[in-house]
Amino acid sequence: MQITLQNIGRRFNREWIFRGISHVFGNRESYAILGSNGSGKSTLLQVLNGSLAPSAGVLSYTFEDKPVPVEEVFSHLSLAAPYLELIEEFSLNEIIDFHFKFKEYKAGLDRKAIVDILSLPGSPNKLVKYFSSGMKQRLKLALAFASDTPMLMLDEPTSNLDTQGIDWYLSLIEQYSANRLTIICSNQEHEYSFCKHRLSIADYKS
């Protein structure tokens, strides 16, 4: 999967959050989008994944050398972000089954494997609303990593995770981010230290 940006900008009312971004996010490469809190990292990620339209410029997607319409980008994407809501009335088993009605499992994975990845073998029927904030974050990440998609986008991936959770995240990155276009929004180096390429929002402020 490749994303090409030509002079992309996004504004709210009259204020430009960023502008003039021309960049290629290449197939199977890893990128960190860097910036302070409130700088526009999440906004750029939402533009990249097609959930926000740019206010200026042209954005295009290709997969296996064929163009992908923006309305179909979601089928190529796995996303974990603080602003994504989980259906809290679902049990762990139910939310896994629901998620994989829309995505395919990566090879060798199934519902039980995801429960095992989460280290919650005794809680498959526990309602998500009773999970701690850290367990909800682990669940979002596990669903994204376990989905067989050519793009992986993570926004502040270790928010609400303790030291053990951060180590768990890094082990999943090593196992499940290979051969995918991976984009991490972060201002904490441990979240993106593996990324080969860096893009700073501060370079695109008007």
User: Is the pLDDT score of 120 beyond 80?
Assistant: no
Q: Which residues contact 113 (CB under 8 A, 6 or more apart)?
A: 146
What is the mean predicted confidence (pLDDT) over 82-111? 94
Structural domain tally of the chain? Answer: 1
Q: From CA 201, how far away is CA 64, in angstroms rounded?
A: 29
Domain span holding position 95: 2-204
pLDDT band with cut points at 50, 70 and 90 for residue 82: confident
pLDDT band with cut points at 50, 70 and 90 for residue 122: low
pTM here is 0.94
Closest Cα to residue 3, out of 56, 62, 68? 62
Instruction: Give residue 199's pLDDT.
Output: 96
Instruction: Give residue 57's pLDDT.
Output: 96
pLDDT in tens, 46-68: 999 999 999 999 999 999 999 99
Domain at 102, CATH number = 3.40.50.300
pLDDT band with cut points at 50, 70 and 90 for residue 205: confident
Instruction: Give residue 124's pLDDT.
Output: 86
pLDDT band with cut points at 50, 70 and 90 for residue 38: confident
User: Are β-strands 77-80 and 66-67 bridged in parallel, bridged antiparallel, or unpaired?
Assistant: unpaired
At how many degrees (to 10) do helices 163-176 and 133-146 cross? 10
Q: Which residues contact 186 (CB under 8 A, 6 or more apart)?
A: 32, 33, 34, 41, 156, 157, 192
